[in-house]
Each structure stands twice: as structure tokens, then as C-alpha cells.
Amino acid sequence: MDTITAIDGMMQDQKRGLIGEKVPQVEIDPAVEARMRSNPRFVAVFEAWVRDHLKDGMGGKVRLFDELGQGIQSLIPAALTRSQSIPAGQLQELKALVTNPGAHRPRSPLTPAALEAFRAFRTKHGVSSANIATQHKRLMHLSAYLAETGKTLDFDCVAAWIDSLGLAGKTQQQYLLAGNAFWRWAMKYDPRWRETFKGAVSPFERHAVALPKGKAALDAKRKEFTLLDMNRLYAAAQEAGNVPLADLIKLGYYTGMRISELCSLHTENVINVDGVEMLDVTDSKTPAGIRRVPIHPAISNLVIRLVENSIDGFLVVTDFVGKQGDRTGALGKAFGALKTSLGYGAQHVYHSIRGTTITQLARHDVPYPMICELVGHKTRTLVFDTYSSGFSAQQKLTAISTVPRLETDLCCDSTLQLA
């Protein structure tokens, strides 16, 4: 960009010189001049081109400098590709910049290559795929905002971006956390980023995000579904003929798992531990989420069917997988449409089912440490989180079995054991 600007400025100076202004003289590199004069054909064509313009007087001279500047600028992409490797996307941008410098907007520094490197780093270090996918989507949103507005990545830019999201304060915080995570990684592992933002502080910090308090916070809090709600949701999914969604609702209720955990389960994650059939969660948003959950007697036949009918190795069926391997999108949207059609608002989401399960465990006198182990939370006590090896498979089966059966399951015999 600096080179293009310099060439443009030099040509503007020469045009001002035509009307008598005092301007800097252009000095040609002797080596370049010698190389040009060594080609008689080039010299002849160039001189003819100059004479053709000069015969038109002042207008021809102005046009001469305009075309000369454009010609020199057009050589820049070819010269750069000879000396270094330039990705196709950046080369296209360079050509557009040369053609119309005034319309140029800076590229987002959050390039696809940088975001993929960040993703690979986090995957290698065991960050959950759900967390990676969510933050990647948020960073892509920021990158698109930077590219569209042409703004520099600084505090004011981030503040404007956050404000443009139109989201609740808590969700805005999650977007800022994604930006901060990338910033810390890039400042440590991306040399280009370190050079570009040398000495800068993270623009994702110290933002005043409005969080609800008191009654407003209580009203904004997610609400769990009641047992009546669960029966309505499951029956509605069945009536709509959406078997995968009905299965997902039932699995969520009887396991307390997150939707991302359920959708990442493979058939091989159905295991037997000390005679107890369990779902082995090997990918979760937190270390505590890596756990084994006993299969509630009410879903033993369901799990058998899902294992037998799987065509892609996954337990939960979905007809759409996102670009980054996300399998929750279509089912999450289907659940959102279903609950909305039944009159549930923004406070009720799929995650609310997890709250229902936890409440039912608590109301059936399941101890707090056991609930934490079943749903994948730390107990935040030194004894259990640091020194305990956890409960036995049989103890966990007894606990999860206290979750009441839905009405549709009360008349069914689901005691069949997995093969």
C-alpha cells in the first residue's frame, strides 16, 4: 500500500509541475535505466507512446503521467509473485488495490490461516470440539466485521462490534472471551501478529458490559422444564415425525448431558463397566465433563436401536453436519422451533433439560457430589475434586435411575440389557 501511494504521489507531483509548481525531481535508478535502454524495441515503442501523448498539448501530458503511474502500479503484483509466495486470495486483493486504491479497505488480521492455526493448536491441547467450534464462529463474525468496516482492531473497534451484536450482556462477554483467547495465542505463537500489534494491549479487555441484576437477572435466567413440559416436548416431537429430535430429548432428560456431548457420542462410546452399561463421554467443554454416565433403564432399548441403526458411527442421528464438523446445529434449530411452537420463550432452551435432570436428582436425595459427577461439574471441594476416584458404576446407576420416567415410558418395559 505504501508503494502504491508513493507512486501515485509522485505522478501527482509531476502533473503539478506542468502548471509551474516547484516539485521534487524524479531520479531513475541508473541500473533500471540501463536495462530499459538495452532493449531497442522497448525504447522505440516507449518514445512513440510519449510522442503520441505530447502532441495533444497539456491534456496529453496529464494523461501521460496518469497512464505511466497506472502502468508502473500494475507491475507490482507480478514483481511480488516472482520474489515471494502470495496466497491467491491476497493476490486478488492486491490486484484490486492497484486498480482502485481509493476503494481499498484493510483486510481483517484474523485471516482464515490464523484462525485455522488457532483451531489446530487448541485441538492439539485437548480443548473440547464444542468450545472450539463456538469460539471459531464468534471470531469469524469479528473477522467479517473488520473486513466489512475496514476498521483497525483496537478497543473502539471492539466496542462498536460488541454493540452491533445486539446480544445480552452475558453473551457479549462470551464473544469478548473468544477474542481474548485468540489474542493471547496470537501474541505468543503468531510472529506476524506479534509484529503488527507489538506493544499493544488486548482490545478485548476492560469493556463495560451491562449485566442484569436483581429481579432482571432472575427474569433473564434460563428456566428448567417441568416433568409436564418434558412430556409435552417429547410427544410433540413424535407427533411431528421427527424421530431424531424425540430421541435427543429423551437422551438429554435421562442423562443430563449437554447437546454437544450427546451429538459427539460414537457407538463405541457405549461401554460396559463392572456390569453396568454406560455412555463414555470423551469430549466435553470442561475437564470435569469427561465422564461415564450409566444408561437409565428407560433408554436402554433406545440406545440399542441407535447403535444398531447407526450408519456413520455416531449414536445421535442428524441430517446436517457443519463445515467444522458441528453436528448440533440442525437438531438445535429443530428443538428451538419445536419449543417455540409450544409457547416456550427465550428462557427455555435445550440446555434447560439438563436443569430438569439435575433438579430431579436433587429431589430424589442424590448427594451433591454424585450429581456433579453424573452431569460433569466440579464439586469445588478439595476432597472430591483432588483426592477422590469417584463413585462406582453401580452407585451411579442407582442414582441416575431415580430420574422419574416420562409418561410415555411408564407403560414400556425398558429393562432389556445391552448386548
Each residue's pLDDT, cut to its tens digit, for the chain (419 residues) gives: 444 455 455 546 555 555 556 656 656 667 755 766 676 776 565 566 656 666 666 665 656 556 655 655 555 555 545 555 545 545 455 555 555 555 445 578 898 889 999 999 998 887 877 788 889 999 999 999 998 888 899 999 999 999 998 887 788 899 999 999 999 999 999 998 999 899 999 999 989 886 655 544 444 567 899 999 999 999 999 999 999 999 999 999 999 999 989 999 999 999 999 999 999 998 877 777 789 999 999 999 999 999 999 999 999 888 777 666 678 888 999 999 999 999 999 889 999 999 999 999 999 999 999 999 999 888 887 777 776 788 999 999 999 999 999 987 776 544 433 33
Q: Is residue 11 part of a domain?
A: yes
Residues 47 and 127 reside in one and the same domain: no
Residues 397 and 264 reside in one and the same domain: yes
Instruction: Supply φ then ψ for residue 314, to 5 degrees.
Output: -95, 150
Terminal Cα distance for the chain, rounded: 67
Residues 204 and 232 reside in one and the same domain: no
Residues 341 and 374 reside in one and the same domain: yes
Q: Is residue 415 part of a domain?
A: no
What CATH number is attached to the domain comprising 365?
A: 1.10.443.10
Helix, coil or strand: residue 206: coil
Handedness of CA 259, 264, 268, 271 (dihedral sign): negative
Q: Taking Cα atoms as reference points, which of 297, 317, 187, 310 lies closest to residue 246?
A: 317
How much is the pLDDT for 258? 92
Residues 232 and 283 reside in one and the same domain: yes
Q: Is residue 55 part of a domain?
A: yes
Q: Is residue 80 part of a domain?
A: yes
Residues 209 and 234 reside in one and the same domain: no
Residue type, 288: A
Q: Taking Cα atoms as reference points, which of 74, 73, 57, 56 lies closest to residue 11?
A: 73
Residues 290 and 179 reside in one and the same domain: no
Residues 255 and 404 reside in one and the same domain: yes
Dihedral angle over CA of 87, 88, 92, 97, nearest 10: 10
Residues 9 and 54 reside in one and the same domain: yes
Residues 371 and 240 reside in one and the same domain: yes
Last residue of a domain, one of 60, 84, 103: 103
Q: Is residue 41 part of a domain?
A: yes
Residues 139 and 8 reside in one and the same domain: no
How much is the pLDDT for 293? 95
Residues 138 and 21 reside in one and the same domain: no
How much is the pLDDT for 130? 76
User: How many domains, in total, are found in the chain?
Assistant: 3
**Distance of alpha carbon 9 from alpha carbon 22, whole angstroms:** 14
Q: Is residue 292 part of a domain?
A: yes
Q: In degrees, to the nearest 5, what angle opens at C-alpha 127 toward C-alphas 254 and 185?
A: 150
Domain enclosing residue 266, as ranges: 227-410
Q: Is residue 416 part of a domain?
A: no
Torsion-angle region of residue 380: left (phi > 0), alpha (psi -120 to 50) or beta?
A: left
